[in-house]
Chain A
Amino acid sequence: MKNRWLFALIIAALFAFAGYAVFFIAPDEATMHAIQRIFYFHASSGWAAMEGTGIVFFANVAYLRKRQPKWDWLAVSAVEVSLAFWSVVLVTGPIWAHPVWGIWWAWDWRLTLTLVLWILYVCYLVLRTLVADPERRAAVSAIFGIFVFLGVPLDYLSIRIFRTQHPQPVLFGGPNSGLDPTMVKVFFSCSALMTLLMILLVIERYRLERLRYEAEEMRLVIEERAETKSQNREMQRRTALGG
């Protein structure tokens, strides 16, 4: 309990530092100026979202192999947290695009795939609501999740493979694609922070899912007991009447 608060506090402190770094340490971009600073949160959220879907994929495969409920808890937790980060990406993107491109949205591979992945992980959650049996639900959503994940590497690579409206990669993008060294430092601090936040949220959501699962199990037991009790009472009543 104490450790979690400590973890959360450290992340909050790091966020304060990141906010300072993004606005006061990172140099001004030559053509885009202040609006470019959204990049530090946009791209780092994108990384955190993809890392989150990596956890989903890992948990899906682990569930199908091991059949332990904990992998399903991890999968659903990571899906929800990733969705939050994808949403940040999809909101900050157009905010940046409107002044820079003059339009909010462009249907290139990067943007389309990101939106489709967001929709697909929503579908994952919808699918889960429609399967009642917990084991079936876990297996079915694991199969679907693995298929959905196939789009994630394509989304990551799309700005390298296709000519997109979305900017080309500025990190690991080959020669002449680099950022100012200070920008790189600020960006990596932000993305490390977003990853930590993602992990914290997944852990918290996982705890919640485990508790929810335990509560569901308990409710089933209680309902079962109540049913046998009422059946017994009914039988006693009948024997009393008959006797």
Chain B
Amino acid sequence: MTAARAAAIVLRKEIRAEMRTRELLQTTVTFVIIVVVLFSFAFEPTAAEARRYGPGLLWIALLFSGSLMLNPSFAKEQSNDTIYALRMAPVSPFAIYLGKMLANLLFLAITEAVLLPVFALLYNVSLWPVLGRLLIVLFLGTFGIAVTGTVFSAVATQARMREVLLPLLLLPVLVPLLVASVEATAELFADAPSLDRTWVAVLVAFDIVFFATAWMLSDYLLEE
């Protein structure tokens, strides 16, 4: 079986499991909306203020919900004892990682699909004119979160206090990604919106480097 096919099977399994309970999506989507509402108390969300703080807020909300959502990715295999089945499966660990990573990417994208209109509405930001370019930045940033978060989800599963540990490990590692995403988004929210090449390049570089590292280390992720 090729890695791509194995990854597709893992992805289908993740989607099917999620569609049966919808546990992950309903909690994450609710959480991300709570974060957006709570941030409105930190400053007066007028258009000018929102333009200043909006990008940071958007990405902090995504990062928080990501660190929350990625935790069960491997933890549920552990608690259901299905991790042994994954270990025994005659496919490369990278394929399993890839399937899980794509599932997390998809779930994060669904969260964003809910978050964006709510954010635009509550903070009075018009996203429509820059939507295409914003989606590029969102994709690059979310890809980085999913790539790194899926690895660290597997790492945190091995430790005690894993629910607290995952944000501890994940959030600081994602700082360069956060900075680049926020700056690129801020350029899009400016009066004369533009897609900043430098920050997009930083995002692409981050994604490539972290994905390559995850690929090289994937053999060790499912070990006992």
Taking Cβ atoms with an 8 Å cutoff, the residues of A that contact B are 64, 109, 112-113, 116, 119-120, 123, 126-127, 130-132, 136, 139-140, 142-144, 146-148, 150-151, 154
Complex contact B210–A147 (CB within 8 A)? yes
Q: Which of B148, B159, B176 contacts A130 (CB 8 A)?
A: B159
Complex contact B151–A130 (CB within 8 A)? no
Complex contact A139–B220 (CB within 8 A)? yes
Taking Cβ atoms with an 8 Å cutoff, the residues of B that contact A are 148, 151-152, 155, 158-161, 165, 168-169, 172-173, 175-176, 179, 209-210, 213, 217, 220-221, 223
Complex contact B175–A123 (CB within 8 A)? no
Chain A residues with CB under 8 A of B168: 123, 126-127
Q: Which of B148, B161, B172 contacts A119 (CB 8 A)?
A: B172
Q: With contacts A140-B155, A140-B158 known, is A127 near B220, CB below 8 A?
A: no
Q: With contacts A123-B168, A123-B169, A144-B169 known, is A130 near B210, CB below 8 A?
A: no
In angstroms, Cα B165 to Cα A140, docked, is 13
Q: Which of B159, B173, B223 contacts A147 (CB 8 A)?
A: B173
In angstroms, Cα B176 to Cα A148, docked, is 12
Chain B residues with CB under 8 A of A131: 158-160
What is the distance, in angstroms, from B202's C-beta to the closest C-beta of chain A? 9
| B224 closest partner in A (C-beta) | A136
Chain A residues with CB under 8 A of B172: 116, 119-120, 123
Complex contact A143–B220 (CB within 8 A)? yes
| B219 closest partner in A (C-beta) | A64
Chain B residues with CB under 8 A of A154: 176
Q: With contacts A139-B220, A143-B221, A147-B210 known, is A120 near B155, CB below 8 A?
A: no
What is the distance, in angstroms, from A115's C-beta to the closest C-beta of chain B? 9
Q: With contacts A119-B172, A126-B168, A150-B213 known, is A112 near B155, CB below 8 A?
A: no
In angstroms, Cα B158 to Cα A29, docked, is 53
Pick the 3 closest A-B CB pairs, nearest first. A130-B159, A130-B160, A116-B175
Q: With contacts A147-B148, A147-B213 known, is A120 near B173, CB below 8 A?
A: yes
